Chains A and B, each alone.
Chain A
Amino acid sequence: MIGQGVSQLAVIIVAAVFILPLLIVVGYSFKTQRELYLGSPLAIPHSLNWDNYANALYRLNMGTSFLNTLFYTAASVLIIAIFAAAASWAIARNRGRFFKFSYIYFIIGILIPYQALFLPIYIVGYSLHLTNSAHGVILMYVATGMSFGVFLMTSFMSTVPVELEEAARVDGCSLYRTFFNIVVPLLSPAMATLIIMESFLIWNDYLMASLYVSAGRLRTLTVAIQSLFSQQTNDYTSAMAAIVISVLPIATLFVALQRYFIKGMTVGALKG
């Protein structure tokens, strides 16, 4: 009994330490300039003051950055999901040498995170005129997400029964129609898992975005927030509001789709 009480207390203390920085961010985002300079950083804001949010959205243009981030993330994850599903299905249904090679070829990328190759990735993008463009950054997110996508999708492929596809083919369905009408619906749990994992990575990415879309009207939330930090401004309260704006969607998505997220994280771990 005493042991349980002690561990309960220890867990509460650890949880308090972990949540403190998040509470501080939310607290700062509601503080006025006066509270920031005269009050203790630990003090709770006097009222829910939304000025910082208005400031972040309009004066600091976080609204545009928010929409950019949303667009890049949504477009990239949808393309990754379709491309990875198509490739994995073809790989799973064929024994030929080309398909075996394709699998290994895609998996190479899992071992090497793009951060190790960001320099040649930037040079290639620059020489193909892909920098400073939305389609450039989306292309690069798709390229760097394919490996994990194929890895995840092929591990789910045993859940797709061959019989349904064969029946569809016998009825005269083309390969592409079979894929979109039969396979994609069956793979939707796996695609949801992949989409939420990649959304979280792309939404939070900074390095690729800073190389490809650093110009004002194209930039993402992470780039906009980082440039705000580095301007040595003392307007922390608006910066904190911008942080809340950027974290909220991904946190909501996580809470709503927790099940898929955990499945995506553990697929490698449990397979070994």
Chain B
Amino acid sequence: MQYASLVAPGMLVFTVGLIVPMILGLRYSLTSWNGFTRELPWVGLVNYVRILHDPYALDAWWFTIKFTFWNTIIQNFFALLFAVVLDTELKGRKVYRTILFVPCLVSPVIVGFVWLRMFSDVLPAINAALGTNINFLLFGSAHTVLSGLLIANNWQWIGYWMLIYLAALQSIPKELYEAAHVDGASWLRRFFSITIPMLAPAFTICIVGITIGSLKVYELIVSSTEGGPGRASTSIVYQIYNTAISGRQYGYGSALSMTLVLVLLIVAVLQVSALRKREVQL
């Protein structure tokens, strides 16, 4: 019983700060509460039906899905590429690792602002210096704003996932490569027959981590595009903020939150089943 008292403080805070909000969020999502009234007017599933007809919500989801899709591909590709290159005997590899990693230590709010300045002042100056005419004003148009945010976000996170791939690469037993080498397997063959299969757990972690990280994107956007131009870069969390905190539609905003929770739970279930499947194979 004494042991239970060691679990209690953490559990109490966790319950008040996360579990109660989750349950209440579900309850609010079934009401049309505006935050002012004492009673919560019950409306059933009306808010959820409304999402399906709300262009603002659908556009926000569509932006978030595109942002997540491209991040997952770009970040995994470059993180693995850089990890493989920096896992060799390359001179100065520790310095390069640190340089690639450091951006993830910066708050996303700051990253957004820094890239706003990069695109508007710094990179155009490179144009002027080189006499080229590349369009760097990526945050200025609805067609390019996604690319701009992807550049900023990938600049920040590639190094983080690179370190995870590096740690996974270094945990592969060297004997496997030596045996394959003796058998005359080419570098490419060794990469696809040993490295890739041995990296499977790291792949799962990185894909899920990048997906979850991208689905919750908000801070990067607040300080760079503010969801614009127009609504072109409004993510789902940003839309929840606009709906609820600025628009005081707590009921409808909670329903939007619940759609995000649902998507995150689906990602989690896919992750667990992917890990289970591999355990069976091993």
> Which A residues are within 8 Å of any B CB, using their own CB?
4, 7-8, 10-11, 14-15, 18-22, 24-25, 28, 40-42, 83-84, 86-87, 89-91, 93-94, 98-99, 102, 105-106, 108-109, 111-124, 128, 139-140, 142-144, 146-147, 149-150, 175, 179, 200, 203-207, 211, 222, 225-226, 229-230, 236, 239, 243, 246-247, 250-251, 254-255, 262, 265-266, 268-272
Contact = CB atoms under 8 A, between A and B. Distances in A.
Give chain B's interface residue range (CB within 8 Å of chain A): 35 or more
B178 interface: no
Contacts of A144: 17-18
Nearest to B275: A272
B213 to A, nearest CB: 8
Contacts of B212: 113
Nearest first, the 4 closest Cβ-Cβ pairs linking A and B are A143-B17, A272-B201, A120-B25, A204-B107
A42 B201 contact: no
A7 B3 contact: no
Contact of B264 (A112, A207, A236): A112
Interface stretch (B137-145, B189-197, B216-224): B216-224
Contact of B13 (A83, A175, A254): A83
Contact of A102 (B11, B17, B115): B11
A143 to B, nearest CB: 2
Contacts of B3: 90, 93-94, 99, 175
B41 interface: no
B153 to A, nearest CB: 13
Contact of B107 (A11, A24, A149, A222): A222
A119 B240 contact: yes
B280 interface: no
Contacts, number: 253
Interface in B128-147: 128-129
A157 B278 CA distance: 25
A18 B125 contact: no
A265 B216 CA distance: 19
A146 B13 contact: yes
B24 A124 contact: yes
B222 A226 contact: yes
Contacts of A10: 85
B62 to A, nearest CB: 18
B202 A269 contact: yes
Contacts of A251: 102, 105
A11 to B, nearest CB: 6
Chain A interface, >50% SS class: helix
15 contacts: A4-B90, A22-B103, A41-B125, A83-B9, A94-B3, A106-B10, A111-B268, A116-B257, A118-B240, A123-B250, A124-B17, A124-B20, A247-B106, A265-B163, A269-B206
A121 B21 contact: yes
A97 to B, nearest CB: 11
B28 to A, nearest CB: 6
Given A120-B22, A206-B107, 14 more contacts: A86-B10, A105-B11, A106-B11, A117-B18, A118-B241, A123-B21, A124-B24, A139-B13, A222-B109, A247-B105, A266-B168, A270-B167, A270-B201, A272-B205
Contacts of A243: 106, 110, 113-114
A206 B114 contact: no
Nearest to B204: A272
A113 B263 CA distance: 12
Contacts of B268: 111
Nearest to A103: B7
B65 interface: no
Interface in B159-197: 159-160, 163-164, 167-168, 171
Contact of A119 (B25, B88, B159): B25
B274 to A, nearest CB: 10
